Amino acid sequence: MAAAWCMPAAADERERAVAEVAQVYERIKIQQPLLQVHHHSSSHQQLAQSLLSDALRALNVALSVMKQQRPSPAPATTPPITSSVVVKAESPRSPSASADSEAIANPTERRPKKRSRSSVMEGNNKTSSSSWVDFTTVPYEDGYEWRKYGEKKINGTSYTRSYFRCTYKDDAGCLATKHVQQKDSSSDPPVFQVTYNNKHTCNNGKLILPFMNIKLEPPVLPPNTLAVQAYSALHDPFDQTMPPSQQEPSSLPVSMQQPCGAATSSTTTSSCISGAESCCDEFPVLDMAQMAAAAEASPGYDLLYEELSLLCDSFKFY
């Protein structure tokens, strides 16, 4: 299966599909502020709805491409499409640990365990330490392979917290860790808070989730590909209907152009469409809450909003 995954042609096609998704995302993101003023201008509303329709069509096509070329079947239990929101964690405490070299060097006795935590942090914290939080109903399906290394009852919570590190920690020295905590809320399905520490450096063949680390340059597409359809579906109608004054994001009010990280200092109000990696590093968020509000205020939006949410969540697993 790994062979199919690595086939250059398939990889190219797939990369293009992913790029398409990223392109759509970027487009929606740029025009997102229009949704905030939809109630003031019917033309804006129409534009936004048209954009969303095109985006959904493009996303559907791109998704088809990705599904066709998916090298291996989904996990035995295909994760349900669920809501997932990522927020930047406020401040990483002392993320991860990789003191195993020391521990492994002296694996004998347990009692005189003089492992130095400071030395552990020296090794990790100085490098590319990062932390972010993901609220999801499928905390164990994020595209990476994890090994559980601990479980703890946390004060003030009803459920234990499980600790995971990257399966390839030893092989590749990957320092990525996460812990999963089920929220106390009696929602159905249950919601889990997943806190990630450190990005994966293992490059273990798992997909880096879309929208992240993808340069949003105009894609170079070969003829007769579904990706072309996706690109056309998104861009042609858009470019034809969009007034010149609205084609450039710079025409938007400055307050609407702030990237995700700068949009707000609050860690709770800044949310991203699902994606385990810290999408806020490079991409502003697509604020689903605002889209939800738009859905409430305008008939027809709700369906688009729902579909878009589902689609975006679907991409999480590719």
Binding site for DNA (CB under 7 A): 93-100, 103-104, 106-108, 110-118, 120-121, 147-156, 161-163, 165, 167, 177, 179, 197
Cβ at position 184, least distance to DNA in Å: 13
What single-letter DSSP state applies at residue 151? Answer: E
Nearer to DNA, 112 or 218 (CB): 112
Nearer to DNA, 39 or 148 (CB): 148
Nearer to DNA, 108 or 186 (CB): 108
Nearer to DNA, 48 or 97 (CB): 97
Nearer to DNA, 38 or 199 (CB): 199
Nearer to DNA, 278 or 298 (CB): 278
Cβ at position 161, least distance to DNA in Å: 6
Q: What is the rounded distance in angstroms from the CA atom of residue 105 to the CA atom of residue 160?
A: 31
For residue 171 the two structure tokens come to 């092989």
Cβ at position 313, least distance to DNA in Å: 24
Sign of CA dihedral 299, 251, 237, 27: negative
Q: Is the peptide bond before 223 cis (omega within 30 degrees of 0)?
A: no
| Host H or E run for residue 153 | strand 146-153
Cβ at position 109, least distance to DNA in Å: 7
C-alpha atoms less than 13 angstroms from C-alpha of 137 in its C-beta half-sphere: 12
Nearer to DNA, 172 or 310 (CB): 172
Nearer to DNA, 145 or 307 (CB): 145
Cα dihedral 149, 155, 158, 160, rounded to 10, equals: 0
3-state secondary structure of 301: helix
Give 164's strand partners. 148, 178
Q: What is the arrangement of strands in the sheet containing 177-182, beginning at the earlier edge strand?
A: 146-153, 160-166, 177-182, 192-197, 131-136, 84-88, 272-273
Q: What is the rounded distance in angstroms from the CA atom of residue 8 to the CA atom of residue 122?
A: 40
Nearer to DNA, 89 or 288 (CB): 89
Sign of CA dihedral 302, 305, 310, 311: positive
Is residue 159 within 8 A of residue 182, CB to CB? The reply is yes
Is residue 160 within 8 A of residue 154, CB to CB? The reply is yes
C-alpha atoms less than 13 angstroms from C-alpha of 235 in its C-beta half-sphere: 12
271: nearest Cα among 247, 292, 241: 292
